[in-house]
Amino acid sequence: MVTSAPRVRPRRLRETPALRRLVSETRLHAADLVLPVFVREGITEPLPIASMPGVVQHSLESLRTAIDEAAAVGVGGVMLFGVPERRDARGSGATDPDGILNVATRVAVEAAAGRLVVQTDLCLDEFTDHGHCGVLDDVGRVDNDRTLERYVAMGLEQARAGSEVLGLSGMMDGQVAAVREALDDAGFERTAILAYSAKYASAFYGPFRDAVESTLEGDRRTYQLDPGNRREGLREAVIDIEEGADIVMVKPAGSYLDVLADVAAASDVPVWAYQVSGEYAMIEAAAAHGWIDRKRAVIESVRGIRRAGADAVLTYWATELAGWIRNGDDA
């Protein structure tokens, strides 16, 4: 039996939906969401991705529709990934002005018309026949410094195509400094760099590799971070900021919230996080079986990433979630 009523009652602030909303510490806004978009060369209709229900490889025409839908509900930006018909050892399609990613960028910029930020993935893995994020040396290892030369060329083509933010995701040492210097020298000093600073060698990328039809054999552990390393993630972010990154990224998001919180606490530039394909696929699969409430799980997962310190979140639910937010159905 309680002999005296508690004077401190935290539950008072949870009594009604309106009160919970008023005192919420972490709010979701459509402008803080970025939609990753896959654009495949040579198709006229969008193609579903089996391991990512609800996500497709877009044609150039359906890309326009996706941009319009995202902009209409206030999504902050799109991140474009190209899926080429042909690949080679150097990833030549990445630097071809008429390659799928550069063409898609021009289409997206026109469709967006300033309503959201068009961003592009700057990495060679979608364009190489071996599936690695750079060019290989004579023994089959990724050659860091030769890869930087390809990143510079790729960055310049993306900037010429109109990309506002270049997403450097290859995890090569010195990539930010190399691309920043090249952009500035070529007159693209206003083009921003998003550094995928703490990108881990994760098991959660599997569906993404289906989406880009990856040809990778082996793994990327010699350049992506060891999942057991927390301090190293922060160190990589600090280096990228020193080299001139305008934004830094932690990827994946859900399993690396500690790293995200570390980077957010130390960074004086915006910090973003990528809710990757495996995180998306797990929630969709569980919801399809009736094991979880889909909408609540989506909202909770993204809110958790924001709570940990992300200023913006790349998520495949961006457009749908933004619609819920607009309708006041985000709690």
Tell me which residues are annotated as active site: 199, 251
Identify which of 227, 201, 204, 307 has the alpha carbon closest to the alpha carbon of residue 264.
307
In 3-state terms, what secondary structure has residue 211? helix
Element containing residue 273 per DSSP (H, E): strand 271-274
Residue 67 C-alpha from the chain's centroid: 16
**Entry field: residues in the chain:** 331
Tokens for 186, please give them.
């070529």
d(CA 181, CA 186): 9
Sequence-distant (≥ 6) Cβ neighbours of residue 120 within 8 angstroms: 79, 80, 101, 105, 158, 161, 163, 165, 166, 167
Describe the crossing of helices 175-185 and 231-243 by its angle, rounded to 10 degrees.
20
Residue 276 φ/ψ, nearest 5 degrees: -80, 175
H or E, element range at 110: helix 100-112
DSSP lists the bridge partners of residue 249 as: 272
Three-state secondary-structure class, residue 141: coil
Contact between residue 245 and residue 193 where contact means Cβ atoms under 8 Å apart: yes
DSSP string covering 149-208: HHHHHHHHHHHHHT-SEEEE-S--TTHHHHHHHHHHHTT-TT-EEEEEEEEB--GGGHHH
